[in-house]
Structure 1
Amino acid sequence: MNASPLSLTASAAALFSNADGEVLIVNPTYKKFWNLPGGAVDEGETPHEAVAREVREELGITPPIGGLLVHAWVSVRGRGAQVLYVFDGGVLSPEDQAAITMQEEELSEFRFCRPDSMEDGLVPPHLTDVWQAALAARSDQHPRVLTVRL
């Protein structure tokens, strides 16, 4: 049996919040849905290095990136699979929030919102479970390993 090669990508994101517990989300110019700050893991870098680089490039800030919250295998039929790492970005200080300077080629806007008030269609449907797992992992300090198949 000849299986076709798997199309696999790796991405890393950070879960940041403000002092009110609202989560930072960004609106990529090249995607339909809002997302957590982050992006592709480049050859030769670790997921932790990738998320720090992506946050610096996309938002212009360099807050410390904490530990891993979620390691997810996300497989969407017809689109291949993605290994996704979500790290704890912690609470952004008012100074970090004021210093955010978006990379306009990649992001059109950012905002903080309550995790329980994100309207349907705002975030990628195949990542909803990943986001919820990241929030739970941050809350109880127990990283999650997740498989999502759609």
Structure 2
Amino acid sequence: MNASPVSVTASAAALCSNADGDVLIVNPTYKKFWNLPGGAVDEDETPYEAAAREVHEELGIAPPVGRLLVHAWVSVTGRGAQVLYVFDGGVLSPEDQAAITLQEEELSEYRFCQPDSMQDGLIPPHLTDVWQAALAARSDEHPRVLTVRL
């Protein structure tokens, strides 16, 4: 029995927060759930470069993107797999927060929310473990590697 090669895509995001520890999330116009700022990794860039580019494109700001927090393999039976990279986007200054300008073609709004409130139907349920791992990795400075199978 020969298995078929899996179709894989890659995405990168940044976990940004304010000085109170609230996490920045964005509401995509083309998806049901809120998400971290980020998106697809283009053919000619690294996941790190993609995270920085996506934050700039989506929010109009360029905070320094830091270390890798999470590398996650998310596989969905019959639909392929996605490799997710979540980087530390740091604490946004009041100036960065005031300068946020949404990419209106893709995002309808943004907000800062407490990390524990993100589980109340705001974020994609299959990514809850990824988000929690990113928060833990930021806190204890130990990156996480996850596998999520759906």
Classify the TM-score, shorter chain: over 0.9
Structure 1 residue runs without a partner (length 5+): none
- What CA distance in whole angstroms lies between the structure 2 residues aligned with 1:93 and 1:79? 40
Alignment of 1:69-80 (within 5 A): 69-80=69-80
| Partner residue, 1:67 | 67
Q: Matched residues, percent identical?
A: 88
| Partner residue, 1:145 | 145
Q: Which moved more, 1:117-126 or 1:45-54?
A: 117-126
TM value normalised by structure 2: 0.97
Q: Which moved more, 1:51-60 or 1:114-123?
A: 114-123
Cα drift, residue 44 of structure 1: 1.3
- What CA distance in whole angstroms lies between the structure 1 residues aligned with 2:119 and 2:149? 22
Structure 2 residue runs without a partner (length 5+): none
Cα drift, residue 46 of structure 1: 0.3
Alignment of 1:1-150 (within 5 A): 1-150=1-150
- What CA distance in whole angstroms lies between the structure 2 residues aligned with 1:112 and 1:78? 35
Count the aligned residue pairs.
150
- What CA distance in whole angstroms lies between the structure 2 residues aligned with 1:143 and 1:91? 18
Give the residue type in structure 1 aligned to 2:71: H
Q: Which moved more, 1:87-96 or 1:118-127?
A: 118-127
Q: Which moved more, 1:70-79 or 1:130-139?
A: 70-79
**Over aligned residue pairs, what C-alpha RMSD do you find?**
0.9
- What CA distance in whole angstroms lies between the structure 1 residues aligned with 2:120 and 2:38? 21
* Counterpart contact for 2:119–2:128, Cα < 8 Å: no
The runs of 4+ residues in structure 1 deviating greater than 3 Å are none
Q: Which moved more, 1:129-138 or 1:1-10?
A: 1-10
Cα drift, residue 7 of structure 1: 1.6
Cα drift, residue 78 of structure 1: 2.8
TM value normalised by structure 1: 0.97
* Counterpart contact for 2:71–2:84, Cα < 8 Å: yes
- What CA distance in whole angstroms lies between the structure 2 residues aligned with 1:79 and 1:130? 19
